[in-house]
């Protein structure tokens, strides 16, 4: 092999890449351990007795002590944490005292509903928020800019549960334009075999178009309301990013060459903010999973948010810890994927 084919510069580049990769892996592992510690601490610090959640309040001391020991609560706290980490790494999140099913099975059943809702909301947020923010930046100081800023302010100020209740009153109770609670009308439940868990996709794959229309009628309102809150954030950040680019010298040069506003904005400026927008949208998608807790409660949506709420109400700490850990893992996964895409779209950050 030619020694010159792999010189000092190549070795330095390889070493830099390996160091960067090792740093990212270490950061991921550290974050994961921190997430596990926080969920474990939450399960131990919240004022809920996991033994009573399983046995009920009227239980003898002998039975209480037996369940207490079976759960390993008599062990030192550090050993309990190690056992918790080992169980999580093997896919064992415990059993729900509410449903009697393994937490993993429950999560696999409810999580697709939340993802389906978040995807609709993300589509609404991106399709409306990005053009709105960019238009507001281009029309800075005009009525369009003021309207966009009012929309963003309202999205951050008005409680999501109040908006949900008002929307149900207007669009369901008064106008009868959308479905009520749940993912589908009652008489369509159970007609579609859950292949992917995403009801709209499964019903389309099976050709159950009546079920599809019913599912669409039920998801459109909560998805739009949840999406409105992402519109507020995405439009505000899009406006900020675009304003920064419009003040750059290359934009002044492009305009001096006679390029139209549309080409300057979308062909030049937008290309330089798309990577930043990718990060914002990734964070927004993770935030939608949190916001879905209230929306799912208002609309009776059988997803992760309602599952978590029911676990809190029943003092079912295995459910709470499993749901919070799932949301945290989704955040971690989204951040990793956005970082990878960031480096693909902008190699200078590699």
Q: What is the pLDDT of residues 272-292, one digit of tens each?
A: 888 888 888 888 887 787 777
Best CA proximity match to 99, nearest among 318, 257, 258, 348? 318
Instruction: Give residue 212's pLDDT.
Output: 92
Q: Among residues of the chain, what percentage have pLDDT more than 70?
A: 87
Residue-level pLDDT at 184? 87
Residues 337 and 192 in one domain: yes
Mean pLDDT for the chain overall: 81
Taking the C-alpha atoms of residue 23 and residue 12, their distance in angstroms, rounded to an integer, is 16
Whether residues 217 and 294 share a domain: the answer is yes
Taking alpha carbons only, the member of 200, 195, 163, 161 closest to residue 184 is: 200
Query: Using CB atoms within 10 A of its CB, is residue 323 exposed (0-12), middle (13-18) or buried (19+)?
Result: buried
Higher pLDDT, 236 or 25: 236
pLDDT confidence of residue 322: 87
Its domain, for residue 9, covers 3-89
- Do residues 316 and 103 lie in contact, with contact meaning Cβ atoms separated by under 8 Å? no
Tell me, yes or no, whether 218 and 305 share the same domain: yes
Best mean pLDDT range from 17-21, 222-226, 253-257: 222-226
The better pLDDT of the pair 188, 20 is held by: 188
* Domain co-membership, 81 together with 110: no
Predicted model pTM: 0.80
Q: Are 39 and 328 in contact (CB under 8 A)?
A: yes
**Residue 334 near residue 285 (C-beta atoms within 8 A):** yes
Task: Check whether residue 13 and residue 132 sit in a common domain.
Answer: no
Q: What is the pLDDT of residue 1?
A: 45
């Amino acid at each position: 092999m030619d020694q010159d084919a792999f010189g000092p510069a190549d070795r330095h580049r390889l070493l830099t890449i390996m160091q960067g990769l090792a740093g990212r892996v270490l950061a991921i592992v550290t974050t994961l351990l921190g997430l596990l510690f926080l969920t474990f601490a939450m399960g131990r610090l919240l004022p809920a007795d996991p033994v009573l959640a399983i046995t009920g309040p009227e239980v003898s001391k002998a039975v209480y002590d037996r369940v207490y020991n079976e759960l390993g609560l008599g062990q030192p706290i550090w050993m309990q944490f190690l056992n918790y980490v080992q169980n999580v790494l093997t896919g064992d999140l415990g059993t729900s005292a509410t449903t009697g099913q393994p937490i993993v099975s429950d999560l696999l059943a409810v999580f697709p509903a939340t993802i389906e809702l978040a995807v609709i909301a993300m589509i609404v947020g991106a399709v409306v928020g990005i053009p709105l923010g960019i238009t507001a930046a281009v029309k800075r100081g005009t009525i369009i800019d003021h309207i966009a800023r009012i929309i963003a302010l309202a999205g951050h100020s008005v409680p999501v549960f109040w908006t949900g209740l008002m929307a149900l009153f207007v669009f369901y109770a008064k106008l009868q334009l959308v479905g009520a609670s749940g993912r589908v009308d009652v008489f369509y439940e159970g007609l579609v075999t859950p292949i992917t868990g995403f009801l709209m996709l499964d019903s389309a794959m099976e050709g159950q178009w009546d079920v599809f229309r019913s599912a669409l009628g039920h998801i459109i309102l909560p998805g739009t309301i949840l999406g409105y809150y992402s519109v507020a954030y995405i439009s505000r950040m899009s406006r900020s990013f675009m304003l920064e680019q419009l003040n750059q010298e290359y934009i002044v040069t492009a305009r001096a060459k006679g390029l139209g506003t549309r080409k300057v904005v979308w062909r030049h400026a937008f290309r330089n903010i798309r990577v930043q927008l990718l990060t914002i949208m990734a964070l927004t998608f993770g935030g939608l999973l949190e916001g879905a807790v209230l929306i799912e409660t208002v609309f009776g949506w059988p997803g992760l948010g309602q599952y978590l709420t029911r676990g809190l109400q029943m003092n079912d700490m295995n459910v709470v810890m499993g749901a919070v850990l799932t949301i945290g893992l989704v955040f971690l996964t989204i951040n990793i994927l956005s970082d990878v895409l960031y480096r693909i779209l902008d190699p200078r950050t590699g």
